[in-house]
Structure 1
Amino acid sequence: MSTGLQIVLMVTTVSVGIAIIGYLGFKISRSTREMGTDAEQATFQALHHMSVAVPHLSRGMSQEGAAKSAKALRRLLACQVLVISDATAVLASESSIGFNDHLREICTQTSAAALADRKTQVHRSPGLDAVSAPIMVGQTAVGTVTAVSAKAGASFVRAVSEVAVFISTQVSLAELDKSKAQLLEAQVRALRAQISPHFIYNSLNAIASFINTDPARARELVIEFADFTRYSFRRRGDFTTLAEELEAIDRYLLLEKARFGERIRVSLQIAPEVLPTQIPFLSLQPLVENAVRHGLEARPDGGLISITATEEGPHAVIRVEDDGVGMDPAELSEVLAGTTENLHVGLRNVDIRLRQLYGQEHGLLIDTAPGAGTMITLRIPKFRAPTSVNR
């Protein structure tokens, strides 16, 4: 989700809140000219009802969320009946006067009109007026909010419309979060796909080479291979600890050493206090694989891979460095911009995931030049736990 879109949605939410508070203030001003205490109380009550509704509406258009938010929204509007519907059925209703078949029919008809026209509709009948406003996600009406009052004046109609905008904002945020989660999942699948053909084929060849000459080593490598692939293809959330990712990297490097022997040397310097840090799943392993494949594999004498992790204030700072062939900075910019295909896909995917999860300032920092090796730095907030996506 882009920062600009987040700001637009937040501004919309604040604007709706101000409009609703203004409506309540207008009602109070009709009864008294002494606005101080009453206005403050109306403001507090409006904000309270909105804050009660937000956590439930942020889950999207669900029956459970609608049911838990309906009472707060009815009190916010000070109406007799409030109904939240999706495009096909009533999700929740809240009433202080009962909800008989006659009321249900009025609400259903008004809701259907609002859904079809994507505009607020008013149904007037003796003793009760119904106002229905569409809940919009983009240009699509995904549901309605319908309020019934003894008399629906202009201010009440406006207030119902603003509540619908408020709900629309929360539902839109939920849809954006869902899209973001789906994108992150697709990126992890891409990283797994990168591991599958290249690494698995080479590892199995390396294991096969030891079956006759060193059966004990072959058995050990089979176990390491099984443990690594089990970790890489697990279906248990989007986050892991730094300690778990380093264990997987250790297995990966053992298998690569079976191919390259002493051509690959490894140095680890890990501060114990950062080992429990939650990091995105498969965020380090692709960087180490990149160092092996694109940094050291092309060198006849191999090279050194250094992995360091330290604590710097509220961040865990992790570096993966190799003394391999390096990269042209212009080529690196194209990789991170996505203008090259099937090259260093791991770098780009990890960079995108970090920026989406923690903000633009937390992307990969890469220092490289031809013949000068590559150093990649990650800064992971230690005390921030982004929402995990269940797979």
Structure 2
Amino acid sequence: MKLLFSLIQVASFFLFVAYAYCNSPMFRMRRLEAASRRDLAVMYLFFSVISIGGTYLGLPVHGALANTRAIGPVLAGLVGGPYLGLAVGLTGGLHRYFYGGFTALACGVSTTVEGALGGVVHLYLARRYGAERPLSPLTALVTMMVAEALQMIIILLVARPFPDALQLVEAIAFPMIAANSLGAAIFMSILRDRRDLYDQVGAASTARALRIAGRTLGPLAKGFTPDVAPELAKIILEETGVGAVAITDTQTVLAFVGIGSDHHKPGMTLAPECHRAILHRDVQFMDGAHEPYHCGYSDQCPLGSVLVIPLQVDGEVIGTIKLFEPASKRFLSINRTLGEGLAQLLATQLLRARYEEQKNLLVLAELKLAHAQINPHFLFNSLTTIQAIMRRDANRARELLNHLSTFFRMNLKRSPEFSTLEEELTHVNAYLEIEKARFQERLTVAIDVDPTLLQVKLPTFTLQPLLENAIKHGIADKLEPGSARIHAFWEDGAARIDVEDDAGTYFERKERGKDGLGLGIVEKRIRNLLKGGSGLTVTCDPHVRTCVSIRIPAEEARAS
């Protein structure tokens, strides 16, 4: 029993080493599938030290050593798999062989076998029960018992003289099996619990980052402005729990919330640490201990540490995010990591907002280009038609002038983004009255719309370009009369709007590059402004029918 208690004391020392390791920056016991080469190298060194240290701290017994050497290779195999277990076992075994004694060869072989055994158990349990089973303290306990039993057998088979080997095994078998198995179970419990804690902290940080991303998405869509900055600072303060948060541009403080807000005010000039962060495009951290933080605004400021992260968008520093802690509180490393990740997240969202803004401006510019191309041409044709009608029917000419006025007035006054289907139809009717007067009996247009769809919103300037394409590039080229149709109806839970013509010349026009500028712009605007699977398709039966279909899913149609 004395030997057992002595071995437990040695094992306790290594448990202390395990606890210290788990609380050091070197600890990265990640899941095996996520472990990098660096992680495996660190684990190899750590478990090899445990194995070799177990030999050095062994207790002399009958010309040999009672020791805790096996804990290193067995746990290395359970944690890191067969390769790591074998590598640590071989390292510890070679060291034990060269250490000497009549059991040198037997213990060298047994240490290597024990590491391989841990790796084999890891493979079996991971494949059958999942990656967590090899990391169970119970698994470590049973595996170590089997490993130490194997060591005793190998000593009996290899060590000579046999009577001395038998006497040694009788003396050390129970103490080593009991002490090492118990030590391995507690050791594994420390390692696993610490890793789980890191995983929980990581999951909490990820969840916090996702909450921040969700909460800041709306404000950042408006851009990085003095109006948005206070809302961003408040969100970051609430989610990180730091003492205070400041948002700056490259010249002044845009917002400050939290401790010290009585003297840290928006509009103040930037502190030196902000200038350094912007100039060097690097994080500035003053922890208040190794590098002091001095508030430049008040000698009585309670803030004692600050993290300054430059906010870069598309390679350009547009400002900084500052996280503060009071002098009475240590700046947590997790908040530092979160703050640095937060700057990247906000930069990505700002870049996306900038992209969306530029994309919308581009589509709007294309829309205005279409107006500029269509309106003069349409105005010229309309005035020519009205002039011809005026000679024989002044009242009809007056009506057409009213329709023309309505058409252009709606062009000027309509929202650049959305109109209801009802407003689109009013615009189309004003256009049609003039086109019917121009083509007379050669043009027939039918409008068939489900009344429940009249309030569905569409991108402004959707129907008229499609109908103009049908008339200008289809029906106008026919020698015989032509017809067009606007049909709006529900289909499979979605709103569908068809604009048809009976010319069927879409493919021919497309080959000649005359499928119409308006069609491309309408398709872009539907794709950009209406989400959830909204889209535009064209079907054509040559010389029989062309149909341009707009489809808006029910949830999008009803939401609008």
Structure 1 position 47, deviation (Å): 5.9
1:243-254 equivalence runs, <5 A: 243-254=422-433
Structure of higher CA gyration radius: 2
1:27-38 equivalence runs, <5 A: none
Corresponding residue for 1:377?
549
One-letter amino acid of the counterpart of residue 395, structure 2? A
SS in 2 for 1:73: helix
One-letter amino acid of the counterpart of residue 307, structure 2? V
Question: Gapped runs of 5+ residues in structure 1?
Answer: 1-31
Contact 1:316 1:382 in 2 (8 A): yes
Match of 1:59 among 222, 229, 248: 222
Match of 1:125 among 292, 296, 299: 292
Contact 2:448 2:486 in 1 (8 A): yes
Per-residue CA distance 1:253-277 (angstroms, 9 max, x = gap): 1101111110001122211111111
Structure 1 position 243, deviation (Å): 1.2
Structure 1 position 86, deviation (Å): 1.7
CA–CA separation in structure 1 for the residues paired with 2:402 and 2:536: 32
SS in 2 for 1:328: helix
Is 2:320 the partner of 1:320? Answer: no
CA–CA separation in structure 1 for the residues paired with 2:449 and 2:238: 55
Contact 2:414 2:460 in 1 (8 A): no
CA–CA separation in structure 1 for the residues paired with 2:373 and 2:413: 15
SS in 1 for 2:308: strand
SS in 2 for 1:266: strand
Larger proportion of strand = 1
In structure 2, the CA distance between the partners of 1:211 and 1:364, relative to structure 1 (3 Å rule), is same
CA–CA separation in structure 2 for the residues paired with 1:211 and 1:43: 73
Is 2:256 the partner of 1:93? Answer: yes
Is 2:375 the partner of 1:181? Answer: no
In structure 2, the CA distance between the partners of 1:298 and 1:120, relative to structure 1 (3 Å rule), is same
Moved more, 288-297 or 379-388: 379-388
Contact 2:252 2:270 in 1 (8 A): no
Corresponding residue for 2:408?
229
Corresponding residue for 2:481?
302
Structure 1 position 92, deviation (Å): 0.4
One-letter amino acid of the counterpart of residue 125, structure 1? P
Match of 1:213 among 389, 392, 398: 392
Question: Gapped runs of 5+ residues in structure 2?
Answer: 1-192, 294-302
Match of 2:273 among 110, 116, 120: 110
In structure 2, the CA distance between the partners of 1:98 and 1:229, relative to structure 1 (3 Å rule), is closer
Corresponding residue for 1:26?
none
Corresponding residue for 1:355?
527
SS in 1 for 2:506: coil
Moved more, 190-199 or 50-59: 50-59
Structure 1 position 187, deviation (Å): 2.6
SS in 2 for 1:63: coil
Corresponding residue for 2:322?
146
SS in 2 for 1:240: strand
Number of matched pairs? 349
Contact 2:251 2:269 in 1 (8 A): no
Contact 1:107 1:130 in 2 (8 A): no
Contact 1:134 1:143 in 2 (8 A): yes
Per-residue CA distance 1:22-53 (angstroms, 9 max, x = gap): xxxxxxxxxx98969x9698887776566544
Per-residue CA distance 1:150-196 (angstroms, 9 max, x = gap): 44464443222112122213322321221222123113212212321
In structure 2, the CA distance between the partners of 1:73 and 1:64, relative to structure 1 (3 Å rule), is same
Structure 1 position 143, deviation (Å): 1.3
Structure 1 position 128, deviation (Å): 2.1
Per-residue CA distance 1:97-122 (angstroms, 9 max, x = gap): 345479x9996222222222222122
CA–CA separation in structure 1 for the residues paired with 2:528 and 2:214: 26
CA–CA separation in structure 2 for the residues paired with 1:61 and 1:76: 20
Structure 1 position 231, deviation (Å): 1.2
CA–CA separation in structure 2 for the residues paired with 1:250 and 1:106: 59
CA–CA separation in structure 2 for the residues paired with 1:172 and 1:105: 26
CA–CA separation in structure 2 for the residues paired with 1:142 and 1:57: 14
Corresponding residue for 1:167?
346
Moved more, 72-81 or 179-188: 72-81
Larger proportion of helix = 2
CA RMSD of aligned residues (A): 3.3
SS in 2 for 1:125: coil
In structure 2, the CA distance between the partners of 1:45 and 1:119, relative to structure 1 (3 Å rule), is closer
One-letter amino acid of the counterpart of residue 317, structure 2? A
Please give the TM-score of this superposition, normalised by the length of structure 2. Answer: 0.56
Corresponding residue for 2:458?
279
CA–CA separation in structure 2 for the residues paired with 1:238 and 1:99: 43
SS in 2 for 1:305: strand
Contact 1:328 1:369 in 2 (8 A): no
1:8-27 equivalence runs, <5 A: none
Is 2:548 the partner of 1:364? Answer: no
One-letter amino acid of the counterpart of residue 364, structure 1? L
CA–CA separation in structure 2 for the residues paired with 1:50 and 1:320: 41
Corresponding residue for 1:81?
244
